[in-house]
Structure 1
Amino acid sequence: MSRSIMLAAVVAVALAAAGGVRAEESPTDMPDFPGRDETFGYCIGCHSMKVVGRQGMDRERWDTTLSWMSEKHNMPAPDGETRKLLLDYLEKAYPAAAPAQGGGFVVPFAPQR
């Protein structure tokens, strides 16, 4: 297991123990593709996975967002192998589309194109 994956798992467990993970969400609620657990571990510490699913971003914007989350919001920076796994998952599970309209929350502070 890579160091980044281990770190993401430790963060998710610590947040769960501290009450930071939303009890109603788990990786099994997400589309079942390789990288699901790792993506959950990296994202859930700061926001609901429902926020992730509503973004409608392409791979390039997901990549920019991962960098931004690490630089500005202290998300553990994934190593190269883990970053690819996260991007592969995000691209497949939450493909590029128009962001949710009317009532769907879209992160207002996400990096713009």
Structure 2
Amino acid sequence: MVFAQSLRMAALAAILLAPSLSFAQEETAETLPDFPGREETFGYCIACHSMTVVGRQGMDRARWDETLNWMAEKHGMPEPDPEMRKTLLDYLAQAFPPKAPAQNGGWVNPFAPKP
């Protein structure tokens, strides 16, 4: 009796969760904007966090550079060699540039740097 009830609960959970799982998108380099350095940047960044986090940032090249320094200093990210650093910065600045400020009273990130 207990086993049958557990089995029904497991089946119900599978049915209820199945639709939400179909919306999840697997992150691959091909899901990112297509610019030179995409594969290298994906491989470097995905080791620690999702690319969704990266894509939300929207920073200029100088801020991306500062962020690489911060991640190396504070989070132990392996320091990229100069050639890899240039590849990462070229890609990040082109694929995820600064975002336009919110218009008409839209939401503003309180942690975003002030212009």
In the superposition, the TM-score normalised over structure 2's length comes to: 0.64
Listed one character per residue, the Cα deviations across residues 49-104 of structure 1 (whole Å, up to 9, x for unaligned) are 011111111110000001111111111111111101100000111111148976xx
Q: Does 1:38 align with 2:40?
A: yes
Structure-2 residue corresponding to 1:8: none
Question: What is the one-letter code of the residue matched to 2:83?
Answer: E
The count of corresponding residues between Structure 1 and Structure 2 is 86
Distance (whole Å) between structure 1 residues aligned to residue 101 and residue 67 of structure 2: 15
**Structure 1: gaps (5+ residues):** 1-22
**Residue 69 (str. 1) matches residue 71 (str. 2):** yes
- Which structure dedicates a bigger proportion of its chain to helix? 2
Which of the two has higher C-alpha Rg? Answer: 2
Structural RMSD (CA): 2.6
Read off the aligned partner of 2:55 and give its amino acid letter: G
Distance (whole Å) between structure 2 residues aligned to residue 98 and residue 78 of structure 1: 29
Residue 83 of structure 1 corresponds to 85
- Check whether the contact 1:42–1:75 (CA below 8 A) recurs between aligned residues: no
Q: How does 1:16-55 map to 2 (within 5 A)?
A: 24-55=26-57
Q: So what's the TM-score if we normalise by structure 1?
A: 0.65
